Amino acid sequence: MPRVTPAPAVRMRGIHKRFGAVQANADVSLQVAPGTVHGIVGENGAGKSTLMSVLYGFYRADSGQIEVFGQPVNIRNADDAIALGIGMVHQHFMLVDSLSALENVMLGAEPHWLLARAQAAVRLKLEALMQTTGLQLDLDCLVADLAVGDRQRLEILKTLYRGAKILILDEPTAVLTPQETGHLFQVLDGLRKQGTTIVLITHKLKEVMRLCDQVTIMRAGRVVQDLAVAEASIEGLAEAMVGRKVNIGRSHGPPSAPGQVLLQARNLLVRDALHVTRLKDLNLRLHAGEIVGIAGVSGNGQSELLDLLSGLLQPASGQLELGGRTFEASAWLDPGTARELGLAHVPEDRQARALVMNFPAWESAVLGYDSLPAYGHGGWLNHQHMRRATGEYMERFDVRPRNPELQSSKFSGGNQQKLVLARELGQAPKVLLVGQPTRGVDIGAIEFIYSQLRALRAAGCAVLLVSSELDEILALSDRVIVMYQGAVTGELPIADCSEARLGMLMLGGAVQ
């Protein structure tokens, strides 16, 4: 008998979706085979998340047709999508911090009106799911106390509990450590073998090559290429995404002589509220005209170091020299003084610590700098000038759309990041502290951000770079410091660095 080809898990035809003047999806067609991992890649604003939000019922397409497992469907909202076996895990988790993991799964899907009986039934089903998927989790832990990787697992469990046969993941590794990413990929591979269809929206082309069976490339709201991953290359995917060749690899000339010391920290000691040591006996020196990378598995003191040097955290002991001034633990630097002394800070979490999400872009673009003479005089703020300056920042840093009045939350993650970078780099800082500069950012924007950081270095700025991406550390740094459990385990010039060598130091080993 002839072999019967199964119907696609998802078939979308001629999808159009417009938001005002922005055509987010233009005549998009997509076909996803059942039991496969299908990657969707493209620049920020290419229409990837919009297309999947149409499939999940967050948005209604202006026109077009959708089929699920061969049947035409009308998806009016997320409830319709869930009933069809479609689940979506968003880039920014949709969990209630004050509820337990179990309660988050139950929320809106309680199987019984008696709470105790409902909890028992949900727990039983979740324990079975955890056993079959490998998504282990403490169901009684408050979400506020869960690590990022555990929150990711909880979101996936929540969709599977609701019967998802098609799982959409939007930038699932954007906030995960390499170890958490590896575990997630093991889980996804297991789900694929069990017949689950997975759609993976990502900017990380290595992840596409490692995990996906098929990949669709979008640009400016349209599909420009669809091919089997076996036929793809990272270079080819990057060029299709951006429409030109891109270069984000190492770009180091001969080593230059170190400039003057612009920041020096001595014997830094930090303890948290539970008196756990987070930084111990840490010494650091930043020179003009260099990028110093901080490598390490997330949670080993890098975040505390950034907060300490930017004035957001006070040490138990230690000393800091910046801009000709010396700060002791008893009278530490504050963020306002840091800015006055030419230090800028790009936080690791742009939404929680760099933007006010319900502010228009022009207000977010002047946060912390509203006292500059250019923005006001005698206590009066010049909103018109702030709007004009924001428009100039948007042009220079290619923030899309170029609308200073648009609410900060309405920009894609990559464009939010460029807005923050525009604000901090726009003041020509002497010292820049930057955490995870390209988290959730597309490859074209990565190339642009790298060029901006290199230009700052060339202008004599000292840049301290914290990144969980070793490729990024290797591409940008002149010198690499490795941290493990709050202490420095090694310091190497870039010429002596390799992934294997840095990986050994990141696990607490000695320099080989």
pLDDT in tens, 115-166: 788 888 889 989 999 988 888 889 999 988 887 778 888 989 999 998 899 9
Q: Determine contact, residues 198/36, Cβ cutoff 8 Å.
A: yes
Residue 1, pLDDT above cutoff 70: no
Unique residue bearing structure tokens 């941290």: 483
Q: Pull the structure tokens for residue 268.
A: 């830094």
Q: Provide the CATH topology of domain 248-342+429-512.
A: Rossmann fold (3.40.50)
| Sign, Cα dihedral of 376, 347, 353, 92 | positive
Mean local confidence (pLDDT), 252-279? 85
Confidence (pLDDT) at 212: 97
Tracing tokens 């991953």 back to the chain, one arrives at 229
Structure tokens given for 212: 């996906």
pLDDT in tens, 365-409: 999 998 888 888 877 889 999 999 999 999 999 898 899 999 999
Q: Tell me which of 198 and 471 has the higher pLDDT.
A: 198
% of the chain at pLDDT higher than 90: 62
Packing angle of the helix pair 115-133, 148-161 (nearest 10 deg): 110
d(CA 367, CA 485) in angstroms, rounded, equals: 33
Residue 250 is predicted with a pLDDT of: 63
| Confidence grade of residue 66 (pLDDT, cut at 50, 70, 90) | very high
The answer to whether 421 and 350 have CB atoms below 8 angstroms apart is: no
Closest CA to 68 of 157, 122, 6: 6
pLDDT above 90: residue 328: yes
What pLDDT does 252 receive?
54
Report how far residue 393's alpha carbon sits from residue 427's, in angstroms, rounded to the nearest whole number: 11
Residue 308 reports pLDDT greater than 80: yes
| Residue 316: how many other CB atoms lie within 10 Å | 14
Q: How far apart are CA 401 and CA 418, in angstroms?
A: 12
Note the pLDDT of residue 181.
81
Q: Please enumerate in sequence order all residues whose Cβ is within 8 A of that of 431, keeping only pairs 6 or more positions apart, or say none.
A: 262, 263, 286, 322, 342, 343, 344, 461, 462, 463, 464
46, 74, 159 from 64: Cα distances, Å? 18, 10, 26
Find, among 158, 184, 190, the residue nearest to 78 by Cα.
158
60 vs 1 pLDDT, higher one = 60
**pLDDT average, residue stretch 221-237:** 94
| Long-range Cβ contacts of 47-51 (<8 Å, 24+ apart) | 47/17, 47/218, 47/220, 47/221, 47/222, 48/201, 48/218, 49/91, 49/170, 49/201, 49/412, 50/17, 50/24, 50/25, 51/12, 51/15, 51/17, 51/25, 51/218
Instruction: Give the whole-angstrom CA distance, residue 65 versus residue 328.
Output: 65
pLDDT score at 171: 85
Higher pLDDT residue, 175 or 360?
360
Rounded distance between C-alpha atoms, residue 120 and residue 186, angstroms: 29
Mean pLDDT (the chain) is 90
Tell me the C-alpha to C-alpha distance, in Å, between residue 308 and each of 135, 332, 335. Answer: 35, 9, 10
To the nearest 10°, report the CA torsion of 369, 370, 374, 378.
-140
% of the chain beyond a pLDDT of 70: 96
**Res 361: pLDDT:** 96
Q: How confident is the model at residue 41 (pLDDT cuts 50, 70, 90)?
A: very high
Is 3 a residue whose pLDDT tops 70? Answer: no
The fold of 10-242 is Rossmann fold (3.40.50)
Overall pTM > 0.85: no
| Residue 470 three-state SS | helix
What lies within 8 Å, CB to CB, of 353 at 6+ separation is 347
Alpha carbon of residue 509 to chain centroid: 28
Over residues 46-61, the pLDDT tens digits come to 899 999 999 999 999 9
Q: Delimit the CATH 3.40.50.300 region(s) of the chain.
A: 10-242, 248-342+429-512
* Rounded CA separation 371/14 (Å): 50
**In 282-436, which ranges are continuous DSSP H helix?**
302-309, 335-340, 350-353, 361-364, 383-396, 413-425
Where does residue 331 rank: exposed (0-12), middle (13-18), buried (19+ CB within 10 A)? Answer: exposed
- Cis peptide upstream of residue 437 (ω within 30 degrees of 0): no
What confidence category does residue 305 fall into, taking pLDDT thresholds of 50, 70 and 90? very high
- The predicted pLDDT at position 345 comes to 97
What pLDDT is recorded for position 20?
85
C-alpha to C-alpha distance for 198 and 189, rounded to whole angstroms: 10
Q: Per mean pLDDT, which range of 96-105, 108-117, 140-149, 277-286 is the poorest?
A: 108-117
Q: Residue-wise over 193-219: b if at least 16 C-beta within 10 A, else e?
A: eeebbbbbbbbbbebbbebbbbbbbbb
Cα torsion at 491, 493, 496, 498 (round to 10°)? Answer: 70
Between 500 and 430, the higher pLDDT residue: 430
